[in-house]
């Protein structure tokens, strides 16, 4: 009996004569407990069983590949892949004929498609939130169609049944006549052209300052 235990790495190297490991009786076992095992050769690799069988077992997948052709065994599937002709030859085979059945297709909807209606809404207000009333609205579409409307008292207009696509909108001026707000009228300066005392000037300044605040 020969036993050898190595803590890290063990190597066998033969420069010219080769290496043989022979078990005259009993099993010959090579194991890799926690990592992969690789067998490499510059030329052919032969695996021969003189009196029994050869088994190749894998938990997940087995791939046999030569050139561009391969056979893959994965789970319950067997996949043959090749760029050329796939041939099966034998004195007999147990392959069953192809199945037959009609495809059931879902029916297409019947009827005409209703076009989605289009519209344009326009709203115009002043800076203080009040509505621009009665202003004319002109809408020009890409095809040359022109539609007109007028803003209501809320500064709003809606045009129904418009063509789809882009449009250019022009809004005119408020239809009401303009009147100047009384609060915007400039107040006359009571001290204009008069000589005021220091007390009168201070009182006038406080008056205008109080009105502004």
In a domain, 155, yes or no: yes
Q: What are the tens digits of pLDDT across the range 138-197?
A: 999 988 899 999 999 999 999 998 988 899 999 999 999 877 666 555 666 767 778 888
pLDDT band at 106 (very low <50, low <70, confident <90, very high): low
Highest mean pLDDT: which of 27-31, 57-61, 155-159?
155-159
Does the pLDDT value for residue 15 go beyond 70? yes
In a domain, 131, yes or no: yes
Does the pLDDT value for residue 213 go beyond 50? no
Domains of the chain: total:
1
Q: CA angle at residue 70 from 69 to 73, to 5 degrees? A: 165
pLDDT at position 46 is 85
In whole numbers, what is the pLDDT of the chain averaged over residues? 81
Does the pLDDT value for residue 33 go beyond 90? no
In a domain, 207, yes or no: no
In a domain, 200, yes or no: no
> Where on the phi/psi map is residue 143: left (φ > 0), alpha (ψ -120 to 50), or beta?
alpha
pLDDT band at 43 (very low <50, low <70, confident <90, very high): confident
pLDDT band at 93 (very low <50, low <70, confident <90, very high): low
Highest mean pLDDT: which of 16-25, 54-63, 148-157, 174-183?
148-157
In a domain, 206, yes or no: no
Does the pLDDT value for residue 90 go beyond 60? yes
SS3 per residue for the chain: CCCCCCCCCCCCCCCCCCCCCCCCCCCCCCCCCCCCCCCCCCCCCCCCCCCCCCCCCCCCEEEEEECCEEEEEECCEEEEECCCCCCCCCCCCCCCCCCCCCCCCCCCCCCCCCCCCCEEEEECECCCCCECCCCEEEEEECCCCEEEEECCCCCEEEEECCCCCCEEEEECCCCCCCCCCHHHCCCCCCCCCCCCCHHHHHHHHHHHHHHHC
Domain hosting residue 146, numbered range: 119-171
pLDDT at position 95 is 67
The reported pTM is 0.38
In a domain, 132, yes or no: yes
pLDDT at position 154 is 93
Does the pLDDT value for residue 80 go beyond 60? yes
């Amino acid at each position: 009996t020969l036993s050898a235990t190595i803590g890290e790495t063990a190597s066998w190297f033969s420069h010219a004569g080769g290496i043989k490991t022979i078990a005259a009786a009993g099993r010959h076992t090579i194991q890799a407990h926690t990592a992969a095992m690789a067998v490499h050769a510059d030329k052919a690799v032969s695996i021969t069983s003189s009196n029994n069988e050869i088994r190749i077992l894998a938990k997940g997948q087995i791939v046999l590949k030569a050139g561009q052709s391969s056979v893959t065994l994965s789970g319950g599937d067997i996949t043959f892949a090749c760029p050329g002709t796939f041939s099966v030859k034998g004195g007999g085979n147990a392959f069953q004929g192809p199945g037959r059945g009609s495809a059931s297709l879902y029916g297409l909807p019947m009827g005409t498609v209703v076009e989605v209606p289009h519209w344009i809404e326009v709203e115009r207000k002043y800076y203080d939130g009040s509505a621009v009333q009665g202003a004319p609205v002109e809408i020009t579409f890409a095809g040359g169609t022109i539609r007109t409307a007028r803003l209501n008292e809320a500064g709003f207009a809606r045009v129904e049944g418009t063509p789809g696509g882009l449009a250019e909108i022009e809004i005119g001026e408020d239809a009401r006549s303009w009147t100047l707000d009384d609060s915007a009228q400039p107040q006359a300066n009571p001290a204009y052209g008069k000589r005021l005392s220091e007390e009168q000037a201070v009182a006038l300044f406080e008056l205008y300052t109080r009105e502004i605040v």
